Structure 1
Amino acid sequence: MPVMTTPVIGNDHQTRDLLGTVKNYLLTGQPEIKYQRKSSKAALSLLFLIDSSGSMIKDRQIAYIKGVIAQTIAQHQHKRLRYGAVALAQGDAQLVSHYTTDTTSFIERIAQLRSGGKTNLKAGLQLIQQMKTSDRTQLYIFTDGKINTGGSLQDAALYFKQHLRTLSATTVVNIESGFVKLGRAAELAKGIGATYLNL
């Protein structure tokens, strides 16, 4: 079973260095603004949006998703991370876990997740927006892309681009199974400008 790697993002941001700017001007005569790096102490948050609709039951995709998430957390257990999760089920979205560093409790909540009903991706994105995402939040969307309520895939992509652009990184993880594949997860990834991962 594959383990997702955590994308590397910068731990620093830049602030103007007034003293360095003046010193550079005196030495070179060039009015070039200098910057200094200031470390960010905010913890990186990994947020999982899990499609647990009825289509995830047929070939045990939901069980596979749970296993991938558990192994990913185990792989990064020594890193300073927070985890959160939202599920899509019964035509709506539900909060599985708000941000937490308690990985044992988080994995238990994921394990207890039940499947059923239709897939409403937009509802999940709306709930994620309420969780105060930032440029220290990385989102993983586990789905086959078969959106069948709450608007179309294009509607969900538009909402994402309007309200969730501050995320540091987004990855769409395709979990489509079966002989005939529609490729809608890849379409979603392209529509929101996300990284695409096929499991």
Structure 2
Amino acid sequence: MRKQSGRRSQTQTDRKRGRYIQARPANGKADDLAFDATLRAAAPFQKAREEGKNNEVAFSVRREDYQRKVRVRRTANLILFLVDASWSMAVAERMAATKGAILSLLTDAYQRRDRVGLIVFQKDRATLVLPPTNSVLLAQQALADIPVGGKTPLSAGLQMAYEVLKREKILHPDVYPLLIILTDGAGNVALGSGSPEKEAHLLAEQIANEDLRSVVINMEHEAFDQGLAHALADHLQATCYTLDELRSDTLYRTVQKEIHSGVPGAQPGKASR
């Protein structure tokens, strides 16, 4: 039996489903009216409207009085991991921490109806190792053998993450996506003929412009850090955490904090840590 109830995040919805929490001016629209708020809006004008009343109208309501319901409903979260699997960093340490965090998140996702996905980028391509799922069994199978080594096609990873998140938003309009990128930011393979770094930053800005929230985990050791992961986070308008915070338990808490912080669809502020 589940100890928690349903989906974890709450978001406003334009659909006529969800809990009615307040009302706002309907701007003349007559669908999903909040009758109580509409009557309250019209009440102060009744004396002024008495001359226009006929004997059949006890209470005068005009289109400018209309108030529309504001509803909220529970929505599922999608946590998409984008992991650098090149030889540029401590691969074994990164993969062990990532696997532990994903499995911890999946245990919670099973109860909360969240989903988790995993994209790995290395050599010259990005691979969707784990399509969005809440199946612990599928995750264990996908995480068993992740290939590592080669160059760092950061742009390919960002492009695939963008496509996956956009597709999920179309299939599940109420989903609340969170992209977690584990990298040192040192992309050295471009999709086109330009600079890999500039291309990655343009793709990062594209993700930010779509109101897709992100977190960057800087996988570079502090002694060798050139600030590339922080620069990527700035273009994503995302928070940047450090390698020391990558243990599976702390990453798990970080994800929970990011899920619960802010309003779904809002742009997170630039920050680093």
Match of 1:141 in 2: 181
Bigger Rg, structure 1 or 2:
2
Q: 1:8-157, aligned counterparts within 5 Å? A: 9-14=9-14, 17-20=32-35, 22-29=38-45, 31=64, 34-40=67-73, 42-57=75-90, 60-131=93-164, 132-134=167-169, 136-150=176-190, 151-157=195-201
Q: For 1:9 and 1:170, how far apart are their aligned partners in 2? A: 16
* 8 Å Cα contact 1:12/1:37 also seen in 2: yes
* 8 Å Cα contact 1:96/1:109 also seen in 2: yes
TM-score, structure 2 normalization: 0.60
What whole-Å deviation, never above 9, does each CA across 1:58-109 have from its counterpart, x for those lacking one? Answer: 6632323223333333455422101111111112101101111102321331
Q: For 2:106 and 2:10, how far apart are their aligned partners in 1? A: 20
Q: Offset of 1:180 from its aligned partner?
A: 2.1
Q: Mean alpha-carbon deviation: is it higher for 81-90 or for 135-144?
A: 135-144
* 8 Å Cα contact 1:83/1:103 also seen in 2: no
Match of 1:191 in 2: 235
Q: For 1:36 and 1:107, how far apart are their aligned partners in 2? A: 44
Q: 1:156 to 1:26 in 2, by over 3 A?
A: same
Aligned to 2:149, the other structure's residue is in SS state: coil
Identity rate of aligned residues, in percent?
26
* 8 Å Cα contact 2:110/2:134 also seen in 1: no
Q: What do you get for the CA RMSD once the two structures are aligned?
A: 2.8
What whole-Å deviation, never above 9, does each CA across 1:115-167 have from its counterpart, x for those lacking one? Answer: 11111121112212332143521111111111111143332222232256335
Q: For 1:26 and 1:88, how far apart are their aligned partners in 2? A: 59
Q: 1:111 to 1:184 in 2, by over 3 A?
A: farther
Q: 1:139 to 1:120 in 2, by over 3 A?
A: same
For 1:197, the aligned partner's letter is Y
Aligned to 1:23, the other structure's residue is in SS state: helix
TM-score, structure 1 normalization: 0.80
Q: 5+ residue gaps in structure 2? A: 1-7, 16-25, 27-31, 46-61, 170-174, 246-273
For 2:33, the aligned partner's letter is L
Q: 1:113 to 1:33 in 2, by over 3 A?
A: farther
Q: Mean alpha-carbon deviation: is it higher for 113-122 or for 157-166?
A: 157-166
For 1:139, the aligned partner's letter is L
* 8 Å Cα contact 2:82/2:119 also seen in 1: yes
Q: 1:183 to 1:164 in 2, by over 3 A?
A: closer
What whole-Å deviation, never above 9, does each CA across 1:160-181 have from its counterpart, x for those lacking one? Answer: 3225633552111112126322
Stretches (4+) displaced over 6 A: none
* 8 Å Cα contact 1:154/1:191 also seen in 2: no
* 8 Å Cα contact 1:88/1:121 also seen in 2: yes
Q: 1:168 to 1:192 in 2, by over 3 A?
A: closer
Higher helix share goes to which structure?
Answer: 2
Aligned residues: 192
Q: 1:53 to 1:75 in 2, by over 3 A?
A: same
